[in-house]
């Protein structure tokens, strides 16, 4: 097996050779970073432990009690720098939001040629009820005036930079995991300390994480320890090098932001152990699933049983009170003996839809190819 060197920032991410299988390094990532078992699409809110997990480096152990306990620092271009304990954050008015989160690399493993990285198929998604303090509340306490209204403020802050407690090296660049958001921040952005009603589990960012509804996972910084307001846009690795849509290594690329629409089918019938092919009986089969988009509500889900030659509209549940949670959909398919491929496709209110053939990019981001599910009816 070829060993990857630590490289340097000018070394682009590797693209697998034609026909090259998943490497031991990719297997190691895939075993650490697990996906949502697709049958768990049945739950409105993904139970703890079934939500997908993606961790670039190690899961840090963060201590929140005692003299040297964790604090959230808010500094840089602020009037009043803050050091907040978990108890102080919990004392602020809290909100709970249901948010569907998806990794920007979801679907990467099906690209050809394959960008060598976490090899997701379609399962890097989950929905949780996140409780915490609106980011705007904390920025207002720190005296960041344009946090909400975009007005020019005396301190000239244009971005908030979020730093996690985890540390590692990526293409030669040693770093804390760090991402930014431009000001003014959305009212929905949360500093979350609870997931599904309990403290954040270690793998999901204990004690505090950012939740950026509608954005791909990389923006939701876990193990958050610092927020720095800056007067220039952030150009760190996870912003300017990683998470860009580019065709060639020297292309500056476009940043990855909002989640492109996707529909997934709850696997019908029962599976074959190795191939995961679904086995169903002849006759009516209830097809159900979830669909989401970071651009607005999903307005249409279509299902095809003949490889996209004809489509049937599914019933899509309205988005309801949960603006950023996935929507349920269902339809009935009459199965006949033999092999079939079910294809599902979502379209959102903004007109974004899922492609029948996946456009390619070097990092393997924003892949929302229609899902194709092989089914054997017998
Ligand atoms: N500090 C930190 N935050 C992070 C990451 C990380 O490695 N370190 N991974 C990001 C990525 S790429 C994703 S997809 C989401 C995954 O969140 P989850 O594991 O809670 O599902 O966290 C994001 N936040
Ligand atoms: Mo991700």
Cβ(51) – ligand 1 distance below 6 Å = yes
For a mutational test of ligand 1's pocket, the pick from 47, 129, 170, 217, i.e. the residue with the most ligand atoms closer than 8 A to its C-beta, is 217
The atom of ligand 1 lying closest to the CA of 210 is 24
Cβ(220) – ligand 1 distance below 6 Å = yes
Q: In which residue ranges of the chain is CATH 2.60.40.650 found?
A: 262-377
Cβ(55) – ligand 1 distance below 6 Å = yes
CATH of 262-377, one of 3.30.450.20, 1.10.3210.10, 2.60.40.650, 2.40.30.170: 2.60.40.650
> Do 180 and 161 touch, CB atoms closer than 8 A?
yes
> Do 178 and 163 touch, CB atoms closer than 8 A?
yes
Q: Which residues fall inside 5 Å of ion ligand 2, going by CB?
A: 54, 103, 217-218
pLDDT in the model for residue 1: 41
Distance (Å, rounded) from C-alpha 335 to C-alpha 282? 5
CATH of 21-255, one of 2.30.40.10, 3.90.420.10, 3.90.180.10, 3.60.20.10: 3.90.420.10
Cβ(278) – ligand 1 distance below 6 Å = no
Q: Which ligand is nearest to the CA of 365?
A: 2
pLDDT in the model for residue 242: 96
Q: In which residue ranges of the chain is CATH 3.90.420.10 found?
A: 21-255
> Do 260 and 266 touch, CB atoms closer than 8 A?
no
Cα of 33 vs centre of ligand 2, distance in Å, is 10
3-state SS, residue 283: strand
Nearest to 101 by CA among 258, 268, 297, 316: 258
pLDDT in the model for residue 149: 55
Q: Are strands 72-76 and 224-230 parallel, antiparallel or unpaired?
A: parallel
Mean pLDDT by 10 residues, the chain (378 residues): 65 89 95 98 98 98 92 97 97 98 97 96 98 98 72 75 98 97 96 98 98 98 98 97 95 97 98 97 98 98 95 96 96 98 98 97 97 98
Cα of 355 vs centre of ligand 2, distance in Å, is 21
């Amino acid at each position: 097996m070829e060993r990857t060197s630590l490289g340097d920032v000018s070394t682009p991410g590797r693209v697998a050779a034609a026909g090259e299988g998943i490497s031991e390094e990719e297997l190691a990532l895939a075993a650490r970073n697990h996906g949502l078992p697709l049958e768990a699409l049945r739950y409105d809110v993904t139970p703890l432990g079934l939500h997908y997990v993606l961790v670039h480096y190690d899961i840090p152990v963060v201590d929140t009690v005692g003299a040297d306990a964790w604090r959230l620092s808010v500094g840089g271009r602020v009037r009043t720098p803050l050091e907040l304990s978990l108890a102080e954050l919990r004392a602020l008015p809290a909100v709970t939001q249901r948010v569907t989160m998806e990794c920007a690399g979801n679907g990467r493993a099906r690209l050809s040629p394959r960008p060598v990285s976490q090899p997701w198929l379609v399962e890097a998604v989950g929905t949780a009820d996140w409780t915490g303090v609106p980011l705007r509340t904390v920025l207002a306490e720190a005296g960041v005036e344009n946090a909400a209204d975009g007005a020019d403020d005396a301190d000239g802050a244009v971005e908030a930079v979020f730093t996690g407690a985890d540390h590692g090296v990526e293409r030669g660049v040693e770093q804390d995991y760090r991402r930014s958001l431009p000001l003014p921040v959305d009212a929905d952005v949360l500093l979350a300390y609870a997931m599904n009603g309990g403290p954040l589990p270690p793998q999901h960012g204990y004690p505090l994480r950012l939740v950026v509804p509608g954005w791909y996972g990389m923006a939701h910084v876990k193990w958050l320890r610092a927020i720095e307001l800056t007067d220039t846009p952030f150009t760190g690795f996870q912003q300017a090098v990683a998470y860009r849509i580019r065709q060639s290594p020297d292309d500056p690329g476009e940043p990855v932001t909002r989640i492109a629409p996707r529909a997934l089918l709850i696997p019908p019938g029962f599976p074959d152990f190795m191939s995961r092919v679904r086995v169903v009986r002849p006759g009516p089969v209830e097809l159900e699933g979830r669909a989401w988009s970071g651009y607005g509500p999903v307005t249409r889900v279509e299902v095809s049983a003949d490889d996209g030659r004809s489509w049937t509209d599914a019933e899509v549940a309205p988005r309801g009170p949960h603006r950023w949670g996935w929507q349920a959909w269902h339809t009935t398919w009459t199965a006949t003996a033999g092999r079939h491929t079910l294809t599902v496709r979502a379209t959102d209110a903004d007109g974004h839809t899922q492609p029948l053939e996946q456009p390619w990019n070097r990092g393997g981001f924003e892949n929302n190819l229609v899902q194709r599910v092989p089914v054997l009816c017998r």
